[in-house]
Structure formats: structure tokens, C-alpha cells
């Protein structure tokens, strides 16, 4: 498969745009014939690939699943992973619907205040920007890759997807901070289990966990199983456990020493120099590596427009750290 590419992504210092010949079905068939090509390009681009003009996926959603299979041994079937079925594609259960429209009805994130950063661009840095996370980090083993396809994107300059690169941010840490974060584990919480920073600040008592929904430890610095690169791996307000965490063995809670460190690390990770903001065009496909990137959604006017995106999630190569583990999120019968 010949992979003409432009690198990095516009305005960023990582990522690549692939310029592939042919229609979406031809591109998927070429990727299947040479299954190492796209994963190698993803690793080389430090975790983010853009392929444009994939519009035929909208009429043949199985193309997205076939392309996902190139990236790993297991494409999640959302019927078996306790996902709300109204967010699952009716005929292709490997596709998660991300939308503000019925039946999903998920509201867009709030607009940051102020709406623009001091440099006049869309804000990326935490805590001005919130919502940074890596997909399903509340599961062990966590997933590898997400594919995200724009069926109907939001209006221009809204509904972007932001990315911050944990490899670049880790490499730029001062040596003393590197030594500190190398030894830590974060405690990641599933949204909806009542463990958010808002809940802790409001003094709410979290409900008891079912065993399969427990918050999960994850190393704050992960070693990439393909490239060996070291990367920051953490989330913030909505996807860490702010009652027992955010870090194992540090003072817990929203005002503890763990909170101070998380705020410092997350502000560093989301500095503009480590970020990319994707402006969506219909037919765009983004492929990202959750093992080394965090991402965040941005506001769009959900009262006036309907946005529909399709996501698949690829599992199966989390690295030696997770060797032999059974899935934490599946209830044991
Ligand atoms: Fe996400």
C-alpha cells in the first residue's frame, strides 16, 4: 500500500494526513491486503492519522469495522460491553453513535469561558479547557485505538476534536518531575459512577460500586507496546476517581496533594505546543492511539444543529504491564 502523507498535521508537531488513492472501499481493501501499513504509519505519526474523503462509509458502515480490524485483534462489540444500546448502531454493533440527536441525545460540552484563548485560538490548555480524557481508561486492560468518522459534523469552527500528545509532553518534562511521575499510578473512574471532581467538591457520597465498575489503576507513564516510547497517561475532572484518587498513595480528594499534581501535569500535557485541533469535514476519518494521546470534544450549537459521528474501539495490545489480565468491566457470572 503506498502511503503518501503530509506530516505533521496543520498547526501541530505530530500526526499525519494520508493522501490515499481511490474510494473508501478501495482504500479499505488495500489496507487489508497490507495490514501492517496503516498501523506502522500511525506509530510513526506518534498516534494520530487523518484520512479524508471516506464518505462511502456512511452508506456501508461495515467498511469502518473492516478498517478497524487492521489495527488490532479485537474490535469492540458494544452489545456485550454494558453500553447503552441506544448509542449502538442498529445493524453494525461495533459502531458507537456519538450524537446530540435522538436516540442518543448527548449534549455537546459547554463553551469554555472566555471562548477564545489569549492567542486568539480555540482554547486547549487545561483547566481553561476541560473534558480531556483517553477512551475507556477506567477499564483494565484499556483499549488501544479509536476510529472516529464524521457522518454529519458540526458547523465550521465548532465541534472540533482536540488532541494532546503524551509522548511529546513526557519528553519535555523536567528530570525531577519525570522521576516523580514515573513511579505513580492514577485511579481512573467510569463516568456515571459518581466519582467525578464535581461530585467530590459538592460533598456527595458516591454510591457503592458493582465489582465490574470499580475505578482502575493505570500507570501515569505508559510504555508504548509498539514503539517503546514513554507517554503520559491520565484524565481529569470527569474520568479520575476524586474520592480515593486521583493518584494511588497520594493525599486524595479535590484539594489534596494528588489534585495539585494532576492539575500541574494536565496543564503541561495540554500546552498548545503538544496539541492539535481537528476541524471536521464530512467524510473525515481520524484514527488515534489512546495509549499515548488524550482528546477532548468542543462546543457546538446543539439546539440548532444535529451532529452524528461514528466510533469504533480496538483492543488487544495494551503492553506487557497488563499481560494475562481478564477484562475488569465484564461482570463475573
Ligand atoms: Fe473520547
- pLDDT, tens only, 108-137: 999 999 999 999 999 999 999 999 999 999
Q: Is the confidence at residue 82, as pLDDT, over 90?
A: no
For residues 17-39, give the mean pLDDT.
97
Q: Kindly give the distance from the C-alpha atom of residue 290 to the centroid of ligand 1, in angstroms, as a whole number.
A: 9
pLDDT on residue 255 = 98
Spell out the residues 6+ positions from residue 218 whose beta carbon is closer than 8 angstroms to its own.
137, 140, 142, 185, 186, 188, 233, 234
Q: Kindly give the distance from the C-alpha atom of residue 146 to the centroid of ligand 1, in angstroms, as a whole number.
A: 8
Q: Kindly give the distance from the C-alpha atom of residue 134 to the centroid of ligand 1, in angstroms, as a whole number.
A: 6
Spell out the residues 6+ positions from residue 180 whose beta carbon is closer than 8 angstroms to its own.
261
Spell out the residues 6+ positions from residue 99 whose beta carbon is closer than 8 angstroms to its own.
105, 106, 306, 307, 308, 309
CB 142 within 8 A of CB 318: yes
Q: Kindly give the distance from the C-alpha atom of residue 45 to the centroid of ligand 1, in angstroms, as a whole number.
A: 19
Question: Where on the phi/psi map is residue 35: left (φ > 0), alpha (ψ -120 to 50), or beta?
Answer: alpha
Which grid cell is 266?
494536565
Q: Kindly give the distance from the C-alpha atom of residue 175 to the centroid of ligand 1, in angstroms, as a whole number.
A: 30
Which grid cell is 215?
475505578
Which residues fall inside 5 Å of ion ligand 1, going by CB? 135
CATH-assigned architecture of domain 4-322: 4-Layer Sandwich (3.60)
Q: Kindly give the distance from the C-alpha atom of residue 148 to the centroid of ligand 1, in angstroms, as a whole number.
A: 9
- pLDDT, tens only, 214-243: 999 999 999 999 999 999 999 999 999 999
Q: Kindly give the distance from the C-alpha atom of residue 244 to the centroid of ligand 1, in angstroms, as a whole number.
A: 23
For residues 146-150, give the mean pLDDT.
98
Q: Kindly give the distance from the C-alpha atom of residue 209 to the centroid of ligand 1, in angstroms, as a whole number.
A: 22
Amino acid at each position: 500500500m503506498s502511503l503518501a502523507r503530509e506530516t505533521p498535521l496543520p498547526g501541530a508537531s505530530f500526526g499525519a494526513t494520508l493522501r490515499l488513492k481511490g474510494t473508501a472501499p478501495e482504500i479499505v481493501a488495500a489496507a487489508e491486503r497490507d495490514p501492517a501499513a496503516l498501523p506502522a504509519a500511525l506509530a510513526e505519526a506518534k498516534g494520530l492519522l487523518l484520512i479524508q474523503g471516506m464518505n462511502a462509509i456512511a452508506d456501508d458502515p461495515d467498511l469502518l469495522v473492516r478498517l478497524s480490524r487492521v489495527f488490532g485483534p479485537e474490535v469492540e462489540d458494544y452489545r456485550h460491553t454494558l453500553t447503552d444500546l441506544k448509542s449502538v448502531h442498529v445493524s453494525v454493533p461495533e459502531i458507537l453513535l456519538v450524537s446530540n440527536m435522538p436516540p442518543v441525545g448527548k449534549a455537546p460540552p459547554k463553551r469554555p469561558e472566555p471562548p477564545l484563548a489569549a492567542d486568539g485560538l480555540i482554547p486547549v490548555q487545561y483547566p481553561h479547557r476541560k473534558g480531556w480524557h483517553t477512551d475507556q481508561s477506567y477499564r483494565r486492560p484499556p483499549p488501544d485505538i479509536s476510529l472516529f468518522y464524521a457522518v454529519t459534523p458540526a458547523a465550521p469552527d465548532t465541534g472540533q476534536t482536540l488532541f494532546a500528545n503524551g509522548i511529546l509532553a513526557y519528553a519535555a518534562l523536567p528530570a525531577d518531575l519525570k522521576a516523580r511521575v514515573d513511579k505513580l499510578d492514577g485511579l481512573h473512574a467510569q463516568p456515571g459512577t459518581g466519582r467525578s471532581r464535581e461530585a467530590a467538591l459538592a460533598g456527595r457520597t458516591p454510591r457503592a460500586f458493582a465489582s465490574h465498575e470499580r475505578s482502575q489503576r493505570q500507570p501515569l507513564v505508559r510504555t508504548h507496546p509498539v514503539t517503546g516510547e514513554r507517554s503520559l497517561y491520565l484524565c481529569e475532572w470527569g474520568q479520575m476517581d476524586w474520592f480515593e484518587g486521583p493518584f494511588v498513595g497520594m493525599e486524595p480528594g479535590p484539594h489534596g496533594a494528588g489534585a495539585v499534581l494532576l492539575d500541574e501535569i494536565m496543564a503541561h500535557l495540554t500546552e498548545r505546543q503538544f496539541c492539535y485541533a481537528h476541524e471536521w469535514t464530512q467524510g473525515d476519518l481520524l484514527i488515534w492511539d489512546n495509549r499515548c494521546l488524550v482528546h477532548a470534544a468542543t462546543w457546538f450549537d446543539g439546539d440548532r444543529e444535529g451532529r452524528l459521528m461514528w466510533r469504533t474501539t480496538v483492543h488487544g495490545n495494551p503492553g506487557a504491564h497488563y499481560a494475562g489480565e481478564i477484562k475488569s468491566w465484564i461482570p463475573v457470572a
